[in-house]
Amino acid sequence: MIVNRTSQTPLYKQIAEHYKKRIMNQEIEKHTKMPSIRSLSQKHNISKTTIEKAYHQLQIEGYIHSQPKSGYYVSPTDVIKKTHQTKSLPTYQPSTYINLEQRPDFFDITPLRKIFQHIMHDYQDTLFDTPKAEGEYPLRQMIQKHLEAERGVVTSPAQIIIASGIQNHLLTLASLTDKKSVAYLVPLFDRAETTFDILNFKKLPCTSIDQILDNKPDFIYISPANLYPSGEVLSINDRIKLINYTKSNNAYIIEDDYNYIFRYNAYQIPSIQSLAKGQNVIYIGSFSRNLLLSIRTSYMVLPETLYKKYQSSPKLAQTVSKIDQLALADYIKQGHYTKHLKKLSTLSKRQRDTLIEQLNTLPINKNITITGLDSNLHILIHSNDQKTLQSIVEKAQKNHYYTKTFKALNNTILLPYSGLNETDLKSMLLTLLT
């Protein structure tokens, strides 16, 4: 039988699928005449209307064609080549890098949960409106006040653009200017590098500020308060060099200030945007790293020259939900964000101190040197012995620890520790470094 009358699938679909399969398997050769609608109806006790509907479906999809006063014929159809592979598709394996996550005790979610409930109740009329391309004004206003107080950033709420990540900001930035060369200190942040490649920017990797200036780039991408991945601070002399260069050459600094809070050997380093009084500096920050990784919200502060172009240019669609934006605005306004940052700074410093204690007591491999202890929530492992480095990477993969290597830093491995408590931290160090 070509149909199963107990099936919930409509009969015409069953008939169509039956003939599709036979045609594709070459059980019915091309140009073969199909059974007439009447004969098929009588043979299987199926209405002619159902057969006609099935044949119509086959004809639409190109399996058969009609010849006037003759009937339906199988159309010439290429056969999909079969392979001899019988392996099943790989199952999805979620990333489970235990050292890469955020510790739950680093963030009190209760105030934010209450704010979300408040937003859903009190803002329900405006939630049906289309999100603004530049972001919701209440959040931009709160970010402006926070940045002025904490980072000395000189701007207005109008010059702040909200998006879900740095890649969206760079796409917007590329639409505002014909400038297409970018210099940076190696190594470059992965997502920024990927975006520059997509935008066909001329990338100018450098090892010093003087080399950056010699290349005369249109853009300079840098994190002056916390250089990636070393965590070093760009000296005031180098900062002034960059600022003077951009003003003299109509160029721009892209200041990625995503990680400024994680510093343990000094007070927070002022932003380069504040030093330049907002001129020729594009300031980018994010809530993901210092709030919740799952809150994909970042912001870009445009200098006045680019903001004027942004006002009249086509804009990318907003990638952050209005609910998230309004909730973050209230979270900052009520003082929770400032309170959280102070707590985060204290807890991360405590975690870093625990790391140092462990490194001082454990029998660390003599071929290994550790740096990067003055900032961030990762360390840098150095060794001239490639076998030692390879062993660390292999053991990390086996034990679900995340590590990162760099083409520009041949003898260096980055090892995060943000997601680990004291016991887990000791276990990781013992597994990888002893």
State the DSSP string of 277-337: TTTTEEEEEESTTTT-TT---EEEE--HHHHHHHHHS--PPP-S-HHHHHHHHHHHHTTHH
Residue 72 in tokens: 């339906």
Cα–Cα distance, 180 to 196 (Å, whole number): 9
> What is the percent of the chain where pLDDT is above 70?
96
Tell me: pLDDT of 193 over 50.
Answer: yes
Mean pLDDT of the chain: 91
Give residue 78's pLDDT: 74
Question: What integer is the mean pLDDT of 288-310?
Answer: 91
**Residue 122 pLDDT level (bands cut at 50, 70, 90):** confident
Nearest one of 31, 354, 337, 310 to 171, comparing CA atoms = 310
Question: What integer is the mean pLDDT of 414-423?
Answer: 92
CB 179 within 8 A of CB 219: yes
The three-state secondary structure class of 183 is strand
Tell me: pLDDT of 48 over 60.
Answer: yes
CB 64 within 8 A of CB 28: no
Tell me: pLDDT of 337 over 80.
Answer: yes
For the chain, the C-alpha Rg in angstroms (whole number) is 30
Give the CATH class of 11-74.
Answer: mainly alpha
Give the model confidence (pLDDT) of 153-175 as tens digits.
Answer: 999 999 999 999 999 999 999 99
Cα–Cα distance, 109 to 113 (Å, whole number): 6
Q: How far apart are the first and last CA of the chain?
A: 69
Nearest one of 279, 283, 255 to 146, comparing CA atoms = 283
Residue 339 in tokens: 């309170």
CATH T-level fold of 362-433: Alpha-Beta Plaits (3.30.70)
Tell me: pLDDT of 297 over 90.
Answer: yes
CB 393 within 8 A of CB 381: no
Cα–Cα distance, 223 to 131 (Å, whole number): 30
Name the phi and psi angles at 356, rounded to 5. Answer: -65, -40
Give the model confidence (pLDDT) of 195-207 as tens digits.
Answer: 999 999 999 999 9
Nearest one of 265, 204, 207, 210 to 237, comparing CA atoms = 210
Give residue 279's pLDDT: 95
Give residue 36's pLDDT: 93
What strands lie across the sheet with 412-416, from one edge to the other? 369-371, 378-382, 412-416, 404-405
Cα–Cα distance, 214 to 416 (Å, whole number): 34
Give the CATH class of 104-339.
Answer: alpha beta
> How many other β-carbons are positioned within 10 Å of the β-carbon of residue 85?
6
Give the model confidence (pLDDT) of 14-37 as tens digits.
Answer: 999 999 999 988 899 989 999 999
Give residue 88's pLDDT: 53
> What is the percent of the chain where pLDDT is above 90?
76
Residue 173 in tokens: 């930035």
Tell me: pLDDT of 349 over 90.
Answer: yes
Amino acid at 157: P
Domain boundaries, the chain: 11-74, 104-339, 362-433
126 to each of 111, 118, 142, 297, 364, how far by Cα in Å? Answer: 22, 13, 19, 20, 58
